[in-house]
Amino acid sequence: MATATLDIKGLNCPIPIMKAKKRIKDLKAGDTLEVLSTDPGSVRDFESFCRVTENPLLESGEEAGVFRFVIEKS
């Protein structure tokens, strides 16, 4: 189970990344953030975000049009 959840369904690029960046700053190292998005572009965006910020992307998937990402704060 994630430490925090960020529901950004209905929002499009670049808002999901901006909100995730802001939210992850409030977490401690080792905490996890679950992000829920409906923007298909978020798959590529969150992969890049995690690579650039060096916060591991632990999980990603899609179910019924909702993309789910679990990011660990490094």
Write out the catalytic residue numbers.
Answer: 13
Answer yes or no: is pLDDT of 5 > 90.
Answer: yes
The interaxial angle of helices 42-53 and 15-25, nearest 10 deg, is 40
CATH number of the domain encompassing residue 17: 3.30.110.40
Q: Could you tell me the residue range of the domain that residue 48 belongs to?
A: 4-72
Residue 64 identity (one-letter amino acid): A
Rg (CA), the chain: 11
Query: Tens digit of pLDDT for each residue in 28-74?
Result: 999 999 999 999 999 999 999 999 999 999 999 999 999 999 999 99
Which token pair is 56?
A: 């591991």
Number of domains present in the structure of the chain = 1
